[in-house]
A and B are shown apart, each in its own frame.
Chain A
Amino acid sequence: MANQAGPPAAQETPTEPPAAAPPAPATPVRDGIGLGLAVGVSGLAYGAFAVGSGLSVSQACALSLLAFTGASQFALAGTIAVGGSLAAGVVSAVLLGSRNTLYALRLAGTLAVRGPARLLAAMGVIDETTAMATAQPGRAASRTAFWATFGTLYLTWNLATLAGALGAGRFGSPQDLGLDVVGPAAFLALIWPRLRSGRAERAAGAGGALIALATAPFLPPGVPIILAAPAALAVAWATRGQAANDSTAAGGGAAPGRAAAAGDGAAR
């Protein structure tokens, strides 16, 4: 989906290269600025949410600097916020980061990096950089787009995290500000285009939510979220024949959503 959507409308999973070339970004600069702003906003939300969840400012910033993938960062903070076990939070966060492996598999040939450059490039493999890189017409342009997007977003994401984390402490309690709904609302905005895009996505989402709610009273907080993964496996198995079709439909359907485009900042 990432390859099919316009650059800011990064989706969470790579798919087959589109049969028809996606519309080339009309204004790469505007898209880049838009992406930077969206990421900045998401970073503010993440920073405030993380501190509201009980992380220190330096812990919130360390996650942005070292993990650099928003959904996972939200997940760890969210698990801590609901009093979940730290181990469960880590597993949830790492599971959520697994899509970046798929991005990296896709980008490996394009980037063709070795040694220290590869270690650096790995940090930048996220929704937005994958979307920008795969939207370019040629390999050289893809590489330029990857590094430029990575550099810009790394800067904005981390500065915004710091600002959000510092700002969170300046106001009243997180609850009074409604910060406890920032996480779930951000997650919902992130998966919204995917929920709209296909039945399999809706089934996986509904299944995951139901499993988590049904098991929450009986298990340590955080564990129910991991138990949602089998829902994804079951749906993947049940719909294994339709993968190609669904992916195509999802990419096309998700692209126009503005919330989808902006929301991907936090998806990282």
Chain B
Amino acid sequence: MTAVWAAVLATAAGCYGLKLAGLVVPPRLLERPLARRFAELVPVALLAALIAVQTLTSGQSLQADPARLAGMAAAVAALLARLPFLAVIVAAAGTAALIRGTGLA
């Protein structure tokens, strides 16, 4: 088994375990306001971190890839225009692909 397979299975086991835990654990454990609040905010903080890293780094170095930045700018524009999810994705990927394809960056 490769390392990637191990990571895939560990992720699956962890995610499933977390779901199951909520069904079997006494609800009191997460009733504290701070615990609730933390759990609410964790996805926002982690996803924002992922966005930043995937947009602005390459390996371990900070890097402003023009095509990638333009793609994300297109995503923001699509979100501001309240376009549906698919349109946001297509706008982002399409813009990045267009800029790379036309040799602008």
Contacts and interface: CB of A to CB of B under 8 A. Distances in A.
Binding site of B, secondary structure by majority: helix, strand, loop or mixed? Answer: helix
Contacts, number: 344
- The size bracket of the interface on B is 35 or more
A83 to B, nearest CB: 6
A163 interface: no
A76 B6 CA distance: 12
A188 B18 CA distance: 24
Nearest to A219: B60
Interface string B50-69: 11111111111110000110
Contact of A204 (B5, B10, B44): B44
B22 A100 contact: yes
A59 to B, nearest CB: 5
B19 A125 contact: yes
Contacts of A102: 22, 30, 36, 39
A104 B16 CA distance: 11
Given A96-B47, A186-B89, A263-B85, A101 B19 contact: yes
B97 A213 contact: no
A113 B9 CA distance: 25
Contacts of B93: 177-179, 181-182, 185
Contact of B43 (A13, A66, A90, A111): A13
7 contacts: A67-B12, A73-B11, A101-B25, A111-B23, A178-B67, A180-B68, A259-B84
Interface of B: 3-16, 18-25, 27, 30, 33-34, 36-62, 67-68, 71-72, 75-76, 78-79, 82-89, 91-98, 100-101
